[in-house]
Each structure stands twice: as C-alpha cells, then as structure tokens.
Amino acid sequence: MAFFRNKRNLYPLIAIASALIIMVFGLVMARTVVCSYFLLGAFVWVILFGCYKQALKVLPLFIVFGGAFALIAFFSSGKNFDGALAMANRFGAVFLAIIPSTSIQAVAMTRNLSQLHTPRGITLGMLITMSFIPVLRAEIKRVREAMRTRGAGSILNHKIFYRAFLIPLVTRLVDISDTLALSIETRGFTLGKSKYTVYKREAVNYMDVVYIFGLVAGIVLAVVL
Amino acid sequence: MTPREKAILELVRLSEEEQRIADEAEKHGESGKGKRKIFQKYMIKDIVFLAIITCCTLVTGAIMPLLVNVPLFGIIQLGLGIQFSLFPVIGMMKVKKPFALLLQSMFISIFLVFMFPPMVLLIACALVAELLTLLIFRGYRSDWACVFAGTLYLPLTLPLLYMYYNVFYTVSGEEKAAVSMFIGGGNTGLIVGISFAVLAVCFIGSVIGMVIARELKKAGKLK
C-alpha cells in the first residue's frame, strides 16, 4: 500500500473527476450485478491510493443508510431482490464518490484552482466554505452550551430555537466573518488583478494517471464483460 | 474644567461630527449616484460572509445524499427548501449586491457535485433568479427583492431535475417505474401540488431569513 501512496493526496481535479465517474456510472448501471462488482473494485482501488481513512469513515454510513434503504426497496417492491440491489448500488455509488472528494485538502484545491487562474474571489470563497465546517461545528456547540447554561429549554421548541439558537449563531457568524475579512486583508490578499505566486504547486503525478486510468479500465471491463 | 473633562468633551464632539459626516454621506448616496448604481464591486468582507453563510447552507443541506434516492417528485426541494432559502437570503441581505446569490451557488456547487451532480444546475437557477430580481426590483435595496430571489432559487431546479430524470434515468431502460415516480408519474395534480408546496416552503424560509437579517440590522450587526 505504501508503494501506491508516494504522495500525500490525489491531484484535486483528478479526485473530483474520479468521484464524478464513480457516481455517474454507479447511478446509470445501478440495476446490474456488474455495478456491484465495479463499486467493490473501486472501493479497494481508492483505498490502495491512500484514501483508507475516508473509506473507513464512509463505510459504516453506507452500511446503515444503504442497508436501510435497500431493505425498504426490497419490501416495497414485493420482496424483489433487484430493487434492493439497485438501491444499494445507488447508495454505494454516492458514498463511494464521497471518498476521493473528502481526500482533497482545502488548500490543495485552492492552489490548484489558483494555478488554473480561477478568479480570486471564487477560490477564496471555496477555500473558506471548505475549511469553515469545523469552526461552524464548534460554534454550534458553543451556542448550545450557552443555551444549556442559561436553561433556555428544548431546541425543538421553535421559539427557543429562533431566539436562543439561530439569532446568536448568525450574530457570531457575522462577527467571525468581519474578523476573518480583516485578517485576510492584513495578509495582503486582494481581489484585483494583482499578480500572485503559488509557492507549492499542485502537479499531476504518474500515480494520479494510473489511478484515473484504473477506474476507467474498470468501467470498460464492467461494460464489456 | 479639568483636562479629563476637556478630553471627554472633545471625544463627544468628534463622535458627533463623525456621525454627521456619515449621515450626510448616506443621504448623498441614497439621492445621488449610489441610488442609480446597481452593479457594485465586491469587497473581501462580502466574499467572506457569503462563503461562511454558504457553509451553513451546505452543512444543513447534508441530508441531500439520502434524499436523492427517494423516488418522489420534488423530495429534494421539499427537504432542502428551508435551508436553501433562509441562509441565502441572510447572505443577500448583508451583501446587497447583484450576483450575491450566484456567488453562493458557485461556492456550494463544488460540494453538491459529490452529493448529487445535477444539483450543480443551481448555478443556472441562481442566475435566472438574479436576473428576474434585477429586472423587477432593479437591485437588492428592497428586502423583498432578497425574499423574491430566495424564494425562486431552489424551486427553479424542479423543471431542470424533471428534464434530468427524463433524460438520464431512461439510460437504464428498465427503470420506467422509478422514473415515473421521480417525475410524478405523469400526475399533473401531484406535480403542481408539490411545486406549490416547494414554493411555499422556500417562501417561509426566505421570510425567516429576512426577519433574522432585519433583527441583526436593528442590533447594528449587519452593516
């Protein structure tokens, strides 16, 4: 496995392309058994290319949700195995596509887009959206802790949800955005057409090519055989 | 008069003067050039706020991968209507500039690709919603312009997804039943009913977004 992991992550755009390939093929071929084999092969393939952590995170989710929906499809279609298989394959394709996409680091994606001369506003926005999720989670936790401390009551009550959760959360987000904007400006970031340098450039590695060709070869084999 | 009192008086005088200048500038902006100017340049703080609010939309919309496989017409829009109208409206109410919605949809689309690729069509929907808003309201000065754009944003995906299911799902050939369920089984009443339900959900979400934004504005948070 170490042989395949000769660099930390997949090239961002190749990771996105592979996620799309897996999802589209999985959804199109969902009713066939070949699709299940392909998804299984693709799962092993992404693990070989260093996405094992993401794969281990996604696997339980797929088992729970995919299994539940497959069971629903099985019974709702009059105990028809094909219906359950199609549903499981669809969920498999969606969850499998999440694995390479979650392996992309926010900064790597930004660097990659900057190299391709994507407008600065868009790369900045995407970077913040990608990397803000843990901050948002922490803020939600803080607001909920404050609610508990103040004895605000159940969050399921819409009035309490609005007054004690939603308003403080959005207020906090506004404060964070102001501070973050100032901090970005003081670091010399501009939205104009000023020149900039990408110090650590993202490059396509031969392993990226092997990875994407492997997936395409898997699709061809699944269609031909 | 002690030096401390003198300093306090000086501070009060300065703050009054600053307030007067700000009021005059605002007045001038409303009656002069500012009123006519629809397209304004984006600042870093606008992009940052839109990105953060998009992150909220994304996190609360993470149920999408589960909804996409439920064969019911409009289920995605019904499930995501509140989130996809509430947060974008807050974003537009703070950044009252054209294409704020389009920017939000661009930021979110890269993540939606992994959840459900056709939802990237949100970019097209945002563009249509923005153009309609600009045509009708001539900008985002009115709060109701934001509500209008927020209400139209997600329901516009309904016809696009209808086309998607018709074209894409028929590739499988045998899935006529699933296709039929996804596109409402040709039942016009059901399609119209769900479309109105989606519009209503999005309108409610937009109005809540507007109420929150107004409250924050009153508290001096949204400038």
pLDDT tens per residue, range B47-68: 999 999 999 998 888 888 778 7
Q: How many CB pairs under 8 A join A and B?
A: 129
Residue B39 is predicted with a pLDDT of 67
On chain A, the residues whose CB falls within 8 A of the CB of B175 are 31, 86
A91 lies within 8 A of chain B by CB: yes
A111 lies within 8 A of chain B by CB: no
Q: Is the pLDDT score of B27 beyond 70?
A: no
CA distance B55 to chain A (A): 5
DSSP A177: H
Q: For residue A112, which phi and psi values (nearest 5 degrees)? A: -60, -45
The verdict on a CB contact (< 8 Å) between B114 and A95 is: no
Region B127-139: what's the mean pLDDT? 89
Rounded-to-integer distance, Cα B207 and Cα B101, Å: 16
The verdict on a CB contact (< 8 Å) between B111 and A184 is: no
On chain A, the residues whose CB falls within 8 A of the CB of B58 are 129, 133
Q: Is the pLDDT score of A56 beyond 80?
A: yes
Site from A33, A170, A183 to mutate, B interface, most B CB atoms within 10 angstroms:
A170
Site from B46, B50, B110, B182 to mutate, A interface, most A CB atoms within 10 angstroms:
B110
CA dihedral B156→B160→B100→B210, nearest 10 degrees, is: 30
Higher-confidence residue of B17 and A208: namely A208
CA atoms within 13 A on the CB side of A101: 23
Rounded-to-integer distance, Cα B61 and Cα A136, Å: 14
Region B189-200: what's the mean pLDDT? 87
Q: Is the pLDDT score of A2 beyond 50?
A: no
Residue B87: closest CA among A136, A155, A154, A105: A136
Region A173-187: what's the mean pLDDT? 89
The interface predicted TM-score of the complex, written ipTM, equals 0.76
The verdict on a CB contact (< 8 Å) between A31 and B172 is: yes
In chain A, % of residues over pLDDT 90: 10
Q: Is the pLDDT score of A57 beyond 90?
A: no
* CB nearest to A180's CB, from B42, B48, B221: B48
Highest-pLDDT range among A137-146, A184-193, B35-44:
A137-146
The verdict on a CB contact (< 8 Å) between A173 and B53 is: yes
- Name the least confident of A170-184, A185-199, B156-170, B201-215: B156-170
The verdict on a CB contact (< 8 Å) between B216 and A167 is: yes
Rounded-to-integer distance, Cα A181 and Cα A173, Å: 12
Residue B86 is predicted with a pLDDT of 92
Structure-block tokens of residue B205: 């979400």
The verdict on a CB contact (< 8 Å) between A170 and B212 is: yes
The verdict on a CB contact (< 8 Å) between A177 and B49 is: yes
Rounded-to-integer distance, Cα A14 and Cα B177, Å: 35
Chain A (41-70) residues lying within 8 Å, Cβ to Cβ, of chain B: 65, 69
- Name the least confident of A50-59, A143-152, A196-205: A196-205
CA dihedral A157→A163→A168→A173, nearest 10 degrees, is: 80
Residue A112 is predicted with a pLDDT of 85
Rounded-to-integer distance, Cα B154 and Cα B59, Å: 16
In chain B, % of residues over pLDDT 70: 81
The verdict on a CB contact (< 8 Å) between B55 and A95 is: no
Largest CA distance in chain A: 64
Structure-block tokens of residue B164: 């998607």
The verdict on a CB contact (< 8 Å) between A124 and B47 is: yes
> For residue B15, with 0-12 CB atoms within 10 Å meaning exposed, 13-18 middle and 19 or more buried, which class applies?
exposed
Rounded-to-integer distance, Cα A35 and Cα A29, Å: 6
Region B120-149: what's the mean pLDDT? 88
A197 Rama sector, left if φ>0, alpha if ψ -120 to 50, beta otherwise: beta
Contact criterion met (CB below 8 Å) for B101 and B153: yes
The verdict on a CB contact (< 8 Å) between B49 and A174 is: yes
What is the residue-wise DSSP string for chain B? --HHHHHHHHHHHHHHHHHHHHHHHHHHHHHSHHHH----PPPHHHHHHHHHHHHHHHHHTTTHHHHTTS-STTHHHHHHTTHHHHHHHHHHHHS-STTHHHHHHHHHHHHHHHH-GGGGGHHHHHHHHHHHHHHHHSSS-SHHHHHHHHHHHTTTHHHHHHHHHHHHGGGGSS-HHHHHHHTGGG-HHHHHHHHHHHHHHHHHHHHHHHHHHHHHHHTT---
Residue B179 is predicted with a pLDDT of 54
Higher-confidence residue of B28 and A180: namely A180
Q: Is the pLDDT score of B206 beyond 90?
A: yes
Residue B78: closest CA among B192, B154, B149, B188: B154
- Name the least confident of A122-126, B41-45, B115-119, B173-177: B173-177
Between A120-131 and A106-115, two packed helices, what is the crossing angle to 10 degrees? 170
Region A137-161: what's the mean pLDDT? 87
3-state helix, strand, coil in chain A (%, to 5): 75, 0, 25
Site from A174, A179, A187 to mutate, B interface, most B CB atoms within 10 angstroms:
A174
* CB nearest to B90's CB, from A28, A127, A170: A170
Residue A13 is predicted with a pLDDT of 86
Contact criterion met (CB below 8 Å) for B109 and B120: yes
Highest-pLDDT range among A99-103, A190-194, B176-180:
A99-103
Q: Is the pLDDT score of B202 beyond 90?
A: yes
* CB nearest to A31's CB, from B47, B175, B215: B175
The verdict on a CB contact (< 8 Å) between B171 and A28 is: yes
Rounded-to-integer distance, Cα B85 and Cα B105, Å: 12
> pLDDT tens for residues B89-106?
999 988 888 888 999 998
The verdict on a CB contact (< 8 Å) between A178 and B168 is: no
**Beta carbons within 10 angstroms of residue B14's beta carbon:** 10
Rounded-to-integer distance, Cα B54 and Cα B118, Å: 18
Q: How confident is the model at residue B186 (pLDDT cuts 50, 70, 90)?
A: low
A143 lies within 8 A of chain B by CB: no
Residue B201 is predicted with a pLDDT of 93
CA distance B87 to chain A (A): 9
Contact criterion met (CB below 8 Å) for B205 and B84: yes
What is the residue-wise DSSP string for B6-41? HHHHHHHHHHHHHHHHHHHHHHHHHHSHHHH----P
Residue A18: closest CA among A224, A223, A219: A219
Region A84-95: what's the mean pLDDT? 85
Chain A (171-210) residues lying within 8 Å, Cβ to Cβ, of chain B: 171, 173-178, 180-182, 184-185, 189-191
A29 lies within 8 A of chain B by CB: yes
Q: Is the pLDDT score of A222 beyond 70?
A: yes
Average model confidence (pLDDT) across chain B:
80
Residue A6 is predicted with a pLDDT of 47
Average model confidence (pLDDT) across chain A:
84
> pLDDT tens for residues B160-170?
777 777 665 54
Residue B205 is predicted with a pLDDT of 93
Q: Is the pLDDT score of B194 beyond 90?
A: no
pTM here is 0.77
